[in-house]
């Protein structure tokens, strides 16, 4: 694992050698010299020595790092510039003592966990300690963890607190679906199990998946949830392999045929027609 990390660091340093870190070189000649030695010498250096000898360059290349608590303790020097924020995921799986050094390296710390989780570990977790110390907390409203390609669901209903999250006007969705059917498309509506659903799905020609998912946006109905609907949700779907088209109600009411034509063109491109 350490050998892989060394190679990864070296490859990334070489990759951005000219383009991205000129300013760092100009400001810190000592690190620049260390970098030259690191690139041109065949002998591998330890990861600890890389962090110690080129901290500014490492921060420029890796502004965000994903590491286990053990790796943080082993590789990052205590005098390394603090990160803007340290995020501890699944804090109920990390003991208090193992979390101290990662927390030390951040200006702020966010600890994620489920307070409905029954703690049966033999150690006190940092998440438990945060609860005991009454650290300010904020409840996540949605959990996207279990979204899959053709079934959308919330993996933890506790996050919803029975909120009514209505994002669509069903009559409008049905109207759009009817137009698409007239154009020869095979469509399904309200795809998924949870309250976050894909409003309309156009079935692909080979009928084994959806070629396009359509999200119908009506700001009057979900104005308090625009951040989720406009940014997070579409990105999650795209990462899961969906092709997504955003259909805004104002555009539909202004020129429905233009929207239909846009959808037809996009599907044709996806299907390679």
Q: What digits encode the pLDDT tens for the residues 217-232?
A: 754 444 445 555 556 6
Q: Residue 27 has what pLDDT?
A: 59
Q: What is the pTM of this model?
A: 0.48
Q: Residue 81 has what pLDDT?
A: 87
Local confidence band at 41 (pLDDT 50, 70, 90 cut-offs): low
Q: Residue 160 has what pLDDT?
A: 35
Crossing angle (nearest 10°) for helices 29-40 and 2-15 = 120
**pLDDT score of 263 more than 90:** yes
Mean pLDDT of the chain: 75
- Rounded Cα gap, residues 148 and 80, in angstroms: 39
Q: Residue 64 has what pLDDT?
A: 85
Name the least confident of 36-50, 106-120, 135-149, 181-195: 135-149
Local confidence band at 179 (pLDDT 50, 70, 90 cut-offs): very high
Q: Residue 163 has what pLDDT?
A: 37
Q: Residue 60 has what pLDDT?
A: 75
Name the least confident of 2-6, 89-93, 208-212: 2-6
- Rounded Cα gap, residues 214 and 230, in angstroms: 13
Q: Residue 87 has what pLDDT?
A: 93
Domains and CATH numbers, the chain: 2-132 (no CATH), 157-271 (3.40.960)
Q: Residue 261 has what pLDDT?
A: 94
HEC readout, 195-228? CCCEEEEEECCCCCCEEEEEEEECHHHHHHHHHH
Q: Residue 221 has what pLDDT?
A: 47
Average pLDDT over residues 193-215: 82
State the sign of the Cα–Cα–Cα–Cα dihedral 155, 160, 166, 167: negative
Q: Residue 220 has what pLDDT?
A: 45
Q: Residue 53 has what pLDDT?
A: 80
Structure tokens at 179: 């137009």
Contact 128, 88 (CB under 8 A): no
Q: What digits encode the pLDDT tens for the residues 83-96?
A: 999 999 888 888 89
Average pLDDT over residues 144-170: 39
Higher pLDDT, 186 or 233: 186
């Amino acid at each position: 694992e350490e050998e892989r990390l060394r190679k990864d660091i070296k490859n990334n340093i070489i990759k951005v050698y000219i383009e991205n870190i000129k300013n760092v070189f100009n400001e810190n000649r000592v690190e620049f010299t260390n970098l030259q030695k690191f690139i041109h010498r065949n002998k591998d250096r330890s990861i600890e020595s890389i962090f110690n000898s080129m901290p500014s360059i490492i921060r420029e290349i890796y502004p965000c790092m994903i590491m286990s608590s053990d790796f943080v303790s082993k590789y990052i020097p205590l005098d390394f510039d603090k990160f803007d924020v340290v995020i501890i995921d699944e804090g109920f799986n990390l003991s208090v003592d193992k979390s101290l050094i990662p927390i030390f390296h951040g200006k702020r710390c966010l600890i994620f966990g489920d307070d409905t989780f029954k703690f049966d570990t033999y150690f006190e977790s940092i998440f438990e300690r945060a609860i005991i110390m009454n650290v300010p907390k904020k409840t996540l409203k949605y959990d996207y963890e279990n979204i899959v390609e053709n079934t959308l669901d919330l993996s933890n209903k506790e996050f919803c607190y029975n909120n009514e999250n209505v994002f669509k006007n069903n009559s409008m969705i049905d109207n759009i679906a009817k137009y698409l059917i007239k154009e020869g498309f095979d469509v399904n509506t309200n795809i998924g199990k949870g309250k976050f659903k894909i409003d309309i799905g156009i079935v692909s020609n080979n009928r084994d998946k959806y070629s396009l998912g359509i999200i119908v946006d009506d700001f009057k109905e979900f104005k308090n949830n625009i951040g989720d609907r406009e940014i997070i949700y579409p990105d999650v779907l795209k990462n899961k392999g969906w092709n997504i088209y955003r259909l805004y109600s104002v555009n539909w009411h202004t020129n429905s045929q233009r929207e239909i034509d846009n959808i037809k063109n996009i599907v044709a491109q996806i299907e390679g027609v």
